[in-house]
A and B are shown apart, each in its own frame.
Chain A
């Protein structure tokens, strides 16, 4: 389950939000009236409020609004610069030679740009490919396992009658409150004593059996699927799995896509658990390799920035492609 769930700052780790407000087996919606998804919300130009206020005194109103617009853009542009500058600067540094870096101010554009840091990163003993491949495998197994098992559990909770169902669901919800930092030491002890430390299994086992959070979201979603569809299929003689795979899942693609994205992001970025449970290069993940590189080549910033660039690039590309879905995913997971 998700317990050392990678909790990046801000990951919608629902902590106590969900369990306490939806009591045991409560059928109701989320804790608070869910505002609509962000993705669909404030398309430019559709907003209410101030845009129509200018009717009274056209000239002064118009210039006031112009001023307000200019001010808004100025502030937003400032935010844009602040947001992007660290990325731009670090990538610039990654393309400088150590000599250029030492002799020029930090803000100068690399001239000529060099890829020697990246070559060094992927050459010889440092071999940054290995952590990328390892992390990709972890992500793959985590996505398939976590989602698969979560779907099964969520379906059981949503659509099947069995004794202790509500009590068990309450246990699942309660587990979301346990922070990762609390389980990390005992999990380390368990894996270490079982001789599983520094294995691929150690990286994925704690996650692969599903996530209570995903189960919670999926259960809510499954419950919203009209009962008629399911009973009709059952009358046609379809079994539980058949119903799950041919009716429920096809209707649940948005939530599945959302959970996939969340899982990919959180496992690619996961750090504390891999840091503790692996050692050496064999099962190093990208974040652990980056941290190791930074402590080993402390001060060799051009090489280190090449590593951070590589560590962040895949998710940035993913983000560029799926930004719409990701933005609405954040809203769904935040509010369902």
Chain B
């Protein structure tokens, strides 16, 4: 008996020893930016886009072969938690050497000295970057990252079969919040929405509880939907860092979108979409949504996923024409990286034609390095897909993405109120006023 026990104790001790031996080893060890054994430095790059991650991985293989001694690894963090994690990581000193930042979130990092300045070492390359991107990320006279993606403008993907069946022409639609006679967009969207009996949304017998196909992806999507509707109606979202989205034009724009969902039922309930930004993309890919307004960031997903014929049309024009949001993404260097030189080298590579070409080579996204955009265009030409509408939207009138030193807190403040507005439970005007106050309070802190 006691003998048995002793054997058990010995076994337990063995297990304990093993536990300590295997300790601190993870099969996914990729974050070990400090592991610079035998002169080999690992630089890690964090981003949120799976498609671009693949492009980066090929790009960095090329870089590694040209720069022996430096290994580059990519780290993917889902967008929904990206900026929460980034803040705690930067604060805790374990952020990656290079990380993506979007215009809305970069300000506090720049102000607190967390980002490497893109200084004179990049002067030669700078001229080759999309000027709008350089402007967007210049703060206090300094540039805080290497422009990586430029989203182009926003346009409407459409399912050719569904559009043809409905007999609708989507090449030049117009929406109008005040004059129904000028509103061709709503009529098209209604024709493209079907219930289980095949009735369209403008039919009095239409069963709104049993919709099998939606006309349009109206939803609480800043970049793809409401920012553009606001812009196309002559409204504004922000004035400097102050939120002003409760102005009349913006209220009209929001009201129009909310009506598309809750009054005309041409888009699914916000219950499906408020917390799930990809819901409508997936529905479009499954052939259940006819018009899907989005940007180049979904081009690859749609091209890979859709099993039907599709094309890209301009987004509907509002009273002020087509005003599209444009946005750019930078790769920022972590100011506290342990390997300044290697990180600089990787950043330079990302800002060069050779390095950035990979981003577009598989059609994943439009590189913000102008000279590197050729492969992107070629890729989609070879696929026989005309993506020029995105570029056209970006060349037209644009409205720039929101910014602010405390953007995250502001977005957290307006999000729950927007949720209610889109669900149709809070009147638009009242809700926007509340949300605006909350957002400004959060921004001002």
Contact = CB atoms under 8 A, between A and B. Distances in A.
B276 A299 contact: yes
Contacts of A14: none
Interface stretch (A21-29, A41-49, A194-202): A194-202
A87 interface: no
B78 interface: yes
Nearest to B95: A279
Interface in B252-310: 275-279, 282, 286
Given A140-B15, A281-B28, A282-B29, A200 B9 contact: no
Contacts of A255: none
B27 interface: yes
Contacts of B5: 246, 249-250
Contacts of B383: none
Contact of B88 (A133, A141, A192, A296): A192
Nearest to B28: A130
A280 interface: yes
Contacts, number: 109
18 contacts: A102-B286, A125-B50, A127-B27, A131-B28, A140-B15, A140-B22, A144-B19, A148-B16, A192-B93, A197-B89, A197-B93, A246-B5, A276-B88, A281-B28, A295-B80, A295-B81, A298-B276, A299-B282
Contacts of B282: 299-300
B15 A144 contact: yes
A134 interface: yes
Contact of B24 (A102, A125, A127, A201): A201
Contacts of B19: 137, 140-141, 144
Interface of A: 102, 125, 127, 129-131, 133-134, 137, 140-141, 144, 148, 188, 191-192, 195, 197-201, 245-246, 249-250, 276, 279-284, 292, 295-296, 298-300
Q: Which of A131, A198, A279 has the most CB of B within 10 A?
A: A279
Given A102-B286, A148-B16, A282-B32, 9 more contacts: A130-B26, A137-B19, A137-B22, A140-B19, A141-B20, A192-B92, A198-B94, A280-B31, A282-B29
Contacts of A283: 26
B53 A125 contact: yes
A335 to B, nearest CB: 27
A254 B396 CA distance: 75
A246 B2 contact: yes
Contacts of A197: 88-89, 92-94
Contacts of A141: 19-20, 23
Given A130-B28, A281-B75, A300-B282, A198 B275 contact: no
B362 interface: no
B30 interface: yes
A137 B76 contact: no
Contacts of B275: 298
The A interface, classified by DSSP as helix, strand, loop or mixed, is: helix
Contact of A200 (B24, B28, B89, B276): B24
Contact of B75 (A246, A276, A280): A280
Contacts of A200: 23-26
Contacts of A246: 2, 5-6
Nearest to B1: A250
Given A140-B15, A198-B92, A250-B2, A296 B27 contact: no
Closest 7 CB pairs of A and B: A130-B28, A296-B78, A197-B92, A192-B92, A281-B28, A282-B31, A250-B5
Nearest to A125: B76
B88 A245 contact: no
A249 B27 contact: no
B77 interface: yes
A329 to B, nearest CB: 19
Nearest to A99: B286
Interface in B162-195: none
Given A197-B94, A296-B78, A279 B28 contact: no
Contacts of B78: 292, 295-296
A283 B31 CA distance: 9
B27 A133 contact: yes
Nearest to A292: B78
Nearest to A195: B93
Contacts of B77: 279-280
A155 B384 CA distance: 77
B44 to A, nearest CB: 9
Contacts of A298: 80, 275-279
A257 B232 CA distance: 68
Contacts of A276: 88
Contacts of B140: none
